[in-house]
Amino acid sequence: MQLDAKIPAGPLAQKWDKHRFELKLVNPANKRKYDIIVVGTGLAGGSASASLAELGYNVKTFCIQDSPRRAHSIAAQGGINASKNYQNDGDSDWRLFYDTIKGGDFRAREANVYRLAQLSGNIIDQCVAQGVPFAREYGGQLANRSFGGAQVSRTFYARGQTGQQLLLGAYSALSRQIAAGKVQMYTRREMLDIVVIEGHAKGVVVRNLVSGEVEKYAADAVVLATGGYGNVFYLSTNAMGSNVTATYRAYKKGAFFANPCFTQIHPTCIPVHGTYQSKLTLMSESLRNDGRVWVPKKPGDKRKPSEIPEAERDYYLENKYPSFGNLVPRDVASRNAKEQCDKGKGVGETRLAVYLDFADAIKRDGKETIAKKYGNLFQMYEKITADNPYETPMMIYPAVHYTMGGLWVDYNLMSTIDGLFVLGEANFSDHGANRLGASALMQGLADGYFVIPYTIGGYLATTAKKQIKTDHLAFRESEKNINDFTNKLLSIKGKRTVDDFHRQLGNVLWEYCGMSRNDAGLEKARKLIQELRGEFWKNVLVPGSGREFNQSLEKAGRVADFLEFGELLVIDALSRKESCGGHFNEAHQTEENEAMRDDENFCHVSAWEYKGYGNDPVLNKEPLTFENVKLTQRSYK
Amino acid sequence: MGWFIKTFTSSIGKKWLMAITGLSFCGFLTSHLLGNLTLYSGKDAFNSYAEHLHSLGVLISVSEKGLLFFGIIHVLTGLVLFIQNIKSRPVRYSVKKSAGGRTIGSFTMPYTGLVLIAFIVLHLINFHFVDKTGTTIYQIVQEAFSKPVYIIGYIFAMIVVAVHVSHGFWSAFQTLGVNHPKYMPFIRKAGIAFSLIVGLGFGFIPVFISLTI
Amino acid sequence: MTKTLNLTLRVWRQKGPDSAGKLETYDAKNISTDMSFLEMIDVINEQLTLEGKEPIAFDHDCREGICGMCGAVVNGRPHGPEKGTTLCQLHMRHFSDGDTIFIEPWRSRAFKIIKDLAVDRSALDIIIQAGGYVSVNTGGAPDANAIPISQETAEKAMDAAACIGCGACVAACPNASAMLFTSAKISQLALLPQGKPEAAKRAIEMVRTMDKLGFGNCTNERECEAECPKEISIVNIARMNREFFKASFFSDVK
């Protein structure tokens, strides 16, 4: 299939303005005749629901948690980028655009990224107007901090809880619309299917997680904002409930899945302790501003860090990348940590960790200064590990954090199913092969506040309105399929728990499709996943029934999808015979072990098309054309 | 006047009623204690204080009615709050521990309150509605405090007052919105000091009297 | 140092909102001190599942102390014995070998039990819907730096805004009152210039809604601030009381 990204013609900086003018509008009086379904209430879904309701549409919003305020956007710590140039340090839309494109290793669409940069300032204005308490300078102006991958200070923040504050802003706007009756809020509902009628998304089928009932909802358009799929690795920094089910089931209904192998591994997380571990905790990237990363020079050195003299320490990032040192981008830092541990130089009980040492910074700036900057992070670290980072170096290790891949969308954020829009982390569009810090919040809110309100109007205004009721055959079929699926899961009554399968899947992916990949490993992973999936459907044990609050059943459905999706991720990784950003194929590296892109053959988006269970998906390519930036090899030496 | 009723029947409104009436009782306690301190100077001083007080005439009866009115509000509102608060948690915890917020004063508030109502009624019967013909107030006091039961009862009641006030005092300020990191530590200390002064000031009267007989 | 513990758990089990519940006893063996409390329950749930029993239902999501979804009363303390800590951030090293641990759900008339330890906290959402927002539509906001806000004010607003809406304040309050939660939002928006135009309406509507939902009254017991995992202060309750006073007597809102 020929993918049409519908990128407007004209100069980069004018595309969005021109496009907004060209988009057809829905008459204000007619907006109330349209129903829109939004799935997910993170930054993208929450802001989209509120903004669409403000325009006059009838919105039905769904989330799996008990409240829309719990979505995992809430956990973002560091901040949100915007090209406000309040610091007078030379920032501009163009610079933010360029940093994002380069940070993404030239695998994102120019037009989308430029629009993102253009909208970034509006987001800050909007959030401040909502009462988001961003950090301020003494004079009352907004404060900024710097973040990885940029040489300007453009990150706005609210302590270490920026995601929380932005989400609560969107949640408050959403709450206002719920009170006004313009949004119907459905909490504790899990979307299990998209209903497509005559090629158009016309509704969703969800499971009421409290009663277990399957419920059907029809609408004129569906917006998915269901986040990323990092939990396919079992251990990640994502929330326990984050999953791929909504996007994967849309994929099965005809939405293409783009670049699933672009997964971001964050370098500074608290290392794994034991097999019971359920999730990994991120320590903000900002720690690398003052912490020095090192391992013992001698493999297998089991001495305490304080007993290892300076001469026997290997500050490998500083040695290898003299100009960026400890501040290399996330993918580079992560890969190097793994490399050291693979050489047997890892530290800690599991030998899967490296030191992040603040001793020099404390000596230089004093304990108080360091406490002021990182006090809450140090406290969090101590809470989890019982080690005091003021006295002994932190131990860190990379962990799965964000997924750049997602459902393929055009410039209007519409997937390959007409009327199915995808926002935020759930789509693939803006971060290429690697996301820069503080850009996820920006994208989620840009999509929800400032893109979808326009583009959904363009779709509705140019599509013949057709009233669909939930007793339509397509709805009834979908409901039946879901009930069959549930009954099948419950009837297996095998010997292994859902978590047990999930953990094993995660191990396979982490081992063979994690920070560093090779073809042989990927082939092996694919086979292992197929086998595991086969076993799952014969030997999984799901207690309870389908007609009640049943958390094991919820997990089982999600893991069933992960077991299929994991294979797609591996297939995508296998097909991309280059290294770029979060995808590092060992066969494609420079002499200095850096990622080596192949712009001639792989400067495209890989969009996968579902072809039925057991059949290989079909690859569709959207070529990426760069008219405004020059493709270069990233270098942080 | 719908808004007025709504305001004072809201959870915060009811708390205001408790705070305002409670604080005025603190004022009453202060003046009552100041007056009673004359006891420590002997019979004549106390009797002349009582005479002075009664010569105020209308003023005193207005104050009495005011106190009664405030008392009714304080008790009734307190009862409503007590019942509502019990109902707000129909199933209790099997195990519940304090995190250090509660004090003896705070968690006994409704109970010390009930004890105080009983005390006040008895107190009024003994000293206020008593037949005062042919005797002085000092003699009445002296006679009452010649009975050990009454001394113990009175001292117990004064401890209860102190406990009640130890929470009530600062709590009233908090309820009325006077809580600032700069002032609150002082208000809390002042509350403890006030409750000690009230408890000791009144509580020593029977001891003093029985020692001076 | 990692050690292992053997514990006895007394867990509240309840089928649904209208069923009777009771404490059940479970043995938790070989629990690593590095586990979080919720990971310990995960382990128990794996065992229960394999034994053909129903696992314990409990809400949780981010497991890093920010989403506000988890929470249970552990040995009589919401989110357990550690100060400023959510249940997911509580680690087993704070317990000793041989301990008996009581685990109960949040208890309040306003929070119905869904199952076991999972409760329905939608009442808190309803309080926010009553006015916990600034009525500003998307688009047309003035430049973010147009109104300066002093650092002190921004920090105070942030102190209040840190609320994660977990409901521990209600669970901890001897009266099951939601004053700390409600006051945190009223305070945040009352402090900021953006929230001022609607301050009166917000204070009145949010307080009245809170009252209607069946929460108890505040008696200044201070258990809420002592248990709040984000250590939100009752200074905010005093501020709400002031806002409610101003709104009741000096605004046109009836």
The CATH architecture of the domain made up of C4-112 is Roll (3.10)
Residue A141 has pLDDT above 90, yes or no: yes
Q: Of residues C27 and B212, which shows the higher confidence score?
A: C27
CA nearest to A295, candidates A318, A311, A316, A326: A316
Q: Does C219 touch chain B (CB under 8 A)?
A: yes
* C-alpha span between A120 and A96 (Å, rounded): 9
Please indicate whether, in this complex, the C-beta atoms of B89 and C240 are within 8 angstroms of each other.
no
The CA distance from A169 to B169, in Å, is 38
Among C110, C117, C103, C111, which Cα is nearest to C15's? C117
Chain C nearest C-alpha distance from B29 (Å): 22
Q: What are the distances in angstroms from CA A297 to CA A268, A353, A354, A403, C83?
A: 21, 14, 12, 33, 40
Average pLDDT over residues A200-216: 98
C30 touches C6 (CB < 8 A): yes
Query: Model pTM?
Result: 0.96
Token digits for A236?
């990640």
Assess contact for C102 and C23: CB atoms under 8 A: yes
- pLDDT score recorded for residue A376: 80
Strand duo A263-269 + A292-296: pairing: unpaired
In angstroms and rounded to an integer, the radius of gyration of the C-alpha atoms of chain A is 24
Q: Is A375 on the interface with C (CB under 8 A)?
A: no
Which positions ≥6 away from B112 have C-beta within 8 Å?
Answer: B105, B160, B161, B163, B164
What is the rounded average pLDDT of the residues A500-513?
97
Burial of residue A90 (CB within 10 Å: 0-12, 13-18, 19+) is: exposed
Question: Which is it for strands A540-541 and C22-32: parallel, antiparallel or unpaired?
Answer: unpaired
Tokens for A181, please give them.
């009756």
Mean of the pLDDT values across residues A333-362?
93
C85 contacts in A (CB within 8 Å)?
Answer: 383
- Whole-Å CA distances, A576 to A105, A403, A524: 14, 16, 16
Question: How many whole angstroms separate alpha carbon A179 and alpha carbon B121?
Answer: 51
Map tokens 């710097």 to a residue.
Answer: A146
- Whole-angstrom distance, CA of residue A63 vs CA of residue A226: 9
How does pLDDT run across A119-136, given as a tens digit for each residue? 999 999 999 999 999 999
**Secondary structure of residue C79 in the 3-state scheme:** coil
Strand partners, A604: A623
B50 min Cα distance to partner chain C (Å): 37
- Backbone Cα Rg of chain B: 19
C-alpha span between A573 and A583 (Å, rounded): 7
Q: How far apart are CA A192 and CA A248, in angstroms?
A: 10
Contact assignment for C220 to B107 by CB distance below 8 Å: no
**In chain A, residues 214-253 whose CB comes closer than 8 Å to chain C:** 237, 239-241
The number of CA neighbours under 13 Å toward the Cβ of A622 is 27
Residue among A161, A15, A156 nearest A76 (CA) = A161
pLDDT at A228: 98
CB pairs under 8 A between A and C: 220
Q: What is the mean pLDDT of chain B?
A: 94
Report the gap between the CA of B154 and the closest CA in chain C (Å). 27
What residues of B are in contact with residue C175 (Cβ under 8 Å)?
A: 84-85, 88-89
- Provide the token pair at A607: 């969009």
Nearest CA to A632 out of A104, A111, A106 is that of A106
In chain B, whose CA is at the least distance from the CA of C223?
B101
Range among A189-198, A287-296, A297-306 with highest mean pLDDT value:
A189-198
Of A377-381, A632-636, C195-199, where does mean pLDDT reach its minimum? A632-636
pLDDT tier for residue A145 given thresholds of 50, 70 and 90: confident
Q: What pLDDT, on the 0 to 100 scale, is given for residue A89?
A: 93
Mean pLDDT of B166-177: 97
Nearest neighbour of C133 by CB, restricted to A70, A141, A175: A175
**Residue A146: DSSP 8-state:** E
Inter-chain CB proximity C64 and A171 less than 8 Å: no
Q: Are C115 and A126 a contacting pair at CB < 8 A?
A: no
**What's chain A's average pLDDT?**
95
Per-residue pLDDT of A1-57, as tens digits, reads 789 999 999 999 999 999 999 999 999 999 999 999 999 999 999 999 999 999 999
| CA A551 to chain CA mean position, Å | 24
Contact (CB, 8 A) for A237 and A282: yes
Report d(CA C126, CA C206) in Å as an integer: 9
Q: Is the pLDDT of residue A594 over 90?
A: no
- Report the C-alpha gap between C17 and C112 in whole angstroms: 6
Is the pLDDT at A205 greater than 80, yes or no?
yes
What CATH number belongs to A473-608? 1.20.58.100
Mean pLDDT of A310-315: 95
Under DSSP, the state recorded for A68 is G
Note the pLDDT of residue A346.
95
> What are the extents of the domains in chain C?
4-112, 122-250
Residue B131 pLDDT > 90: no
Minimal CA separation from A627 to chain C, in Å = 30
Q: Which of C93, C128, C149 sits opposite A136 (nearest CB)?
A: C149
Quick: pLDDT tens for A531-586. Answer: 999 999 999 999 999 999 999 999 999 999 999 999 999 999 999 999 999 999 99
- The two tokens of residue A262 are 């672009």
CA distance A515 to A264: 8
Q: Is the pLDDT of residue B213 over 70?
A: no
d(CA B183, CA B190): 11
CB-nearest partner of A67 from C57, C122, C157: C122
Q: Do C62 and A239 touch (CB under 8 A)?
A: yes
Contacts of residue A102, defined as CB under 8 A and 6 or more positions apart, other chains included, come to: A149, A629, A632, A634
Domain ranges (residues) in chain A: 12-264+402-461, 267-398, 473-608
Determine how many CB atoms are found less than 10 A away from the CB of residue A104. 25
Residue range A12-264+402-461, CATH number = 3.50.50.60
Spell out the alpha helix ranges (H) of chain C.
Answer: 37-50, 122-129, 151-161, 168-172, 179-191, 199-212, 223-227, 235-250
- What is the fold, at CATH topology level, of the domain defined by A267-398? Flavocytochrome C3; Chain A, domain 1 (3.90.700)
CB B195 within 8 A of CB B166: yes
pLDDT at A232: 98
Residue with tokens 């769904």: A62
Low-confidence ranges of chain C (pLDDT < 50): none
Q: Distance between CA C168 and CA C176 in Å, rounded?
A: 10
Q: Is the pLDDT of residue A637 over 80?
A: no
- The answer to whether the CB atoms of C165 and A541 lie below 8 A apart is no
Contacts of C241 in chain B (CB under 8 A): 12, 15-16, 174-177
End-to-end alpha carbon distance in chain C: 61
- Give whole-number Cα distances, A524 to A273, A532, A559, A617, B81, in Å: 27, 12, 20, 18, 68
User: Taking CB atoms and an 8 Å cut-off, how many pairs form between chains B and C?
Assistant: 143
For testing the chain C interface, which of B80, B88, B171, B183 should be mutated: the one with the most C CBs within 10 Å?
B88
- Cβ partners under 8 Å of residue C101, min gap 6: C7, C8, C9, C10, C74, C75, C95
Q: Report DSSP letters for A394-448, one per residue.
A: EEEEEEEEEE--EE---TTSB-SSBTEEE-GGGB-SSSTTSPPTT-HHHHHHIII
| Spatial separation of the C-alpha atoms in residues A66 and A59, rounded to whole Å | 19
From the centroid of its chain, how far is CA C105?
12
Structure tokens given for A613: 């269970």
The CATH class for the domain spanning C122-250 reads mainly alpha
Give start and end residues of each alpha helix (H) in chain B: 2-9, 11-36, 43-55, 58-87, 104-107, 109-127, 137-144, 148-175, 184-212
Q: How far is residue C211's CA from residue C209's CA, in Å, rounded to a whole number?
A: 5
pLDDT at residue B1, rounded to an integer: 62
pLDDT in the model for residue A593: 80
What pLDDT shows up at residue A437? 87
> In Å, how far is A89's CA from the nearest CA of chain C?
17
Q: For chain C, what is the radius of gyration of the CA atoms?
A: 20
Pairing of strands C77-78, A80-81: unpaired
Annotated catalytic residues of A are: 330
Query: What is the rounded CA–CA span in Å between residue C72 and residue C60?
Result: 10
Which contiguous run of DSSP H or E holds residue A115?
A: helix A110-130
**Residues 110-149 (C) with a CB less than 8 A from some CB of A:** 114-115, 118, 120-122, 124-125, 128-130, 132-139, 141-145, 147-149
Asked if B109 is an interface residue toward chain C (Cβ–Cβ < 8 A), one would say yes
Residue B121 or A591, more confident: B121
Residue C223 confidence (pLDDT): 97
Output b/e per residue, A132-145; b: 16+ Cβ within 10 A: bbbbbeeeeebbbb
**pLDDT reported for residue A285:** 81
Of B158, B165, B161, the residue nearest B190 (C-alpha) = B165
Residue C71 · residue C106 · CB < 8 Å: yes
Which residues share a beta bridge with A606? A621
